[in-house]
């Protein structure tokens, strides 16, 4: 973890309401994400995390309030510009088509290409550099379908890195991974912040937030309950309230590093 609070904001939300035409699922959401910061979103299923991510990426329009990207309202950004600035890493899923890893990572370069044009030499170089940054350049010519869950997650991270983004959004990056691969992905998250990339991720494992996050936001039923440092936010009382659990049960389940 690092101290990134005084660094420049990459994303700012001011009194944002999220949802769809017929239903508001979140309201009065305000926080910022800074360069070199790991920001974690915690909340139970159905709390609005996915809808919030879609709103920050410009896939959904905020019902009210304003999302700022690099100090500019998100509605002033084109889709191509946003793809340069914000990278997205979904949960690794079983693959249906045997794409080469190189092809998967090159997809991160498509936002820089003109319509109907092919990747250039520099695009291939950036793809390889993105894999190398994560220590998986040896997977370049492997088929995505042949990889382990952890390797697939790293390849998706490499694809996002190939976009050359300022901030990367990650949806439950350690879901369905074994312990070793979880540790590997958490180490990568830390390394991204060390490169001054902002990282926003959500997880259902508070202990992962304790390990890598600089700040944490608690989201429940579309309401932002609190935002702050790990020591302030990650308490037994807060987690018991967030997940509607008895305090004594939470205390037994949590690792000793969460007080």
CB 63 within 8 A of CB 18: yes
pLDDT at 13: 97
Strand pairing category for 198-203 and 167-171? parallel
Q: Structurally, how many domains does the chain consist of?
A: 1
Please choose, from the candidates 144, 139, 52, 161, the residue with its C-alpha nearest in 3D space to the C-alpha of residue 93.
144
> Average pLDDT of each block of 10 consecutive residues along the chain (259 residues)?
63 95 91 96 92 93 94 92 90 78 90 70 92 92 90 91 93 87 89 94 93 96 94 93 90 62
Q: Looking at the domain assignment, is residue 142 inside a domain? A: no
Domain limits for position 44: 9-91+166-253
pLDDT at 114: 62
pLDDT at 116: 53
CATH of the domain at 208: 3.40.50.300
Strand order through the sheet with 23-34: 72-73, 64-69, 9-20, 23-34, 223-229, 215-220, 38-42, 198-203, 167-171, 86-89
pLDDT at 111: 74
Q: Looking at the domain assignment, is residue 132 inside a domain? A: no
């Amino acid at each position: 973890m690092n101290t990134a609070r005084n660094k420049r904001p990459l994303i700012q939300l001011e009194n944002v309401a999220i949802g769809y035409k017929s239903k508001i699922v979140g309201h009065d959401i305000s926080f910022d994400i800074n360069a070199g910061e790991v920001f974690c979103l915690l909340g139970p299923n159905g709390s609005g995390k996915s809808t919030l991510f879609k709103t920050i990426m410009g896939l959904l329009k905020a019902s009210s309030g304003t999302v700022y990207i690099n100090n500019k309202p998100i509605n002033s950004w084109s889709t191509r510009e946003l793809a340069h600035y914000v990278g997205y890493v979904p949960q690794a899923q079983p693959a249906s088509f045997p794409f080469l890893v190189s092809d998967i990572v090159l997809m991160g370069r498509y936002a820089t290409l003109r319509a109907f044009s092919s990747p250039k030499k520099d695009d291939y170089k950036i793809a390889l550099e993105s894999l190398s940054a994560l220590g998986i350049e040896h997977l370049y010519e492997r088929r995505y379908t042949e990889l382990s869950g952890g390797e697939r997650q790293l390849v998706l991270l490499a694809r996002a890195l190939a976009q050359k983004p300022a901030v990367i959004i990650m949806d439950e990056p350690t879901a369905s991974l074994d312990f070793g691969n979880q540790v590997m992905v958490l180490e990568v998250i830390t390394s991204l912040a060390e490169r001054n990339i902002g990282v926003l991720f959500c997880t259902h494992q508070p202990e992962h937030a304790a390990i890598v996050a600089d700040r944490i936001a608690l989201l429940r039923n579309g309401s932002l309950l609190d935002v702050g440092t790990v020591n302030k936010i990650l308490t037994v009382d807060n987690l018991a309230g967030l997940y509607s659990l008895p305090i004594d049960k939470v205390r037994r389940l949590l690792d000793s590093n969460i007080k």
